Amino acid sequence: MLTPSLLDTSVLIRPTDTERVLVVGAGGGFDLLSGLPIAFALREQGKTVFLANLTFTAATRTTARSVAPDLFEVDAATEGQSGYFPEKHVATWLADHGYPDKVFMIRKGGTASVRAAYAWLAHELDFDGIVLVDGGTDLLMTGDEAGLGTPVEDVTSLLAAAALDIPVKLAVCVGFGVDAFHGVCHAHFLENVAALAKAGAYHGVFALMPGIPAVDAWLDVVSWVQRHTPGRESIVSASITDAARGEFGDHHSLDRTRAVDAELFINPLMSMVWGFDLDAVAQRVRYRSHVEHAASPFEVAAAIEAFRSEVPLRPWRDIPV
């Protein structure tokens, strides 16, 4: 085994040991877009890359092809949901730029149905690596933090991915700070990163920097999808891309944030990609046993709420910088 060098980024090295990788959005909506820089970089290395996303799109109101229960296949020719259909818009951009344009949509459901969709993908696509991507940082919340953000979608995806028996499983967070509006205490995020580091499950961080082909392609596809989602653009994606372009402070690139007169704090930390061992992240979810067999998102949410009513929560802590 070669000795790692300081020049090696652990989170980027791990997928290079694979040949077929699934890059999948954990929390629905635009999360897939936050994983595209990694997807583009892996394709540059000759890897076969598949794309999937937990979806907020009403798949049955589109022409997406049903391939399994709660799982649909989208490509550039798919029609429907023109006002909000990020998977279709990603597929269109990919086709226009010479990439394979297939994107799988996983219907938002309970832990059991999402796990079954992941199992079908693993069997049919025969991938040996998965990169589960969260636009934001609430994927790392264990359950006793001051705020969990929006955990229902993230945890169902996380536990579904953890159930897979494949060699390489990575959990990735992009957008440090964007979850402040969802009540996430970022001191608790950093505390959780430290715990994963102590366990040998933290794989480092890297920056999304313009001028790198994979990053430039990501910036372009995000702009494309945002333009085709008028009024429902992703604030998370806008914050991350604005940060990557060097914007700072109360910078608004969307009418959505201007309209509510929200003060933003765009900064370089938002464009950093944090990588972790996926199984270790899943094992740290304290309410895991409460939701593993949940049949619906409502059951997942109720189980999380019940768990939090019974355990002491960490008090809010500001970052002293």
**310 backbone dihedrals φ, ψ, rounded to 5°:** -110, -10
pLDDT in the model for residue 29: 87
Pairing of strands 103-107, 202-207: unpaired
What's the confidence (pLDDT) of residue 201?
96
Cβ pair 192, 154 in contact under 8 A? no
Nearest-5° angle of CA 186, CA 190, CA 191?
A: 110
Domain chopping of the chain, boundaries: 16-310
Q: Which CATH class is domain 16-310?
A: alpha beta
Q: What pLDDT, on the 0 to 100 scale, is given for residue 321?
A: 77
Q: What global pTM score does this model have? A: 0.95
User: Residue 18: left (phi > 0), alpha (psi -120 to 50), or beta?
Assistant: beta
The tokens of 307 are what?
A: 């768990």
CB distance 208 to 271 below 8 Å: yes
Token representation of residue 105: 């949509």
- Beta strand spans in 278-318 (E): none
pLDDT at residue 7 in the model: 65
Cβ atoms of 25 and 31 within 8 Å: the answer is yes
pLDDT along the chain (321 residues), means of 10: 65 83 94 96 95 95 96 96 89 97 96 97 98 97 97 97 97 95 94 98 95 97 95 94 97 87 91 97 97 95 97 95 77
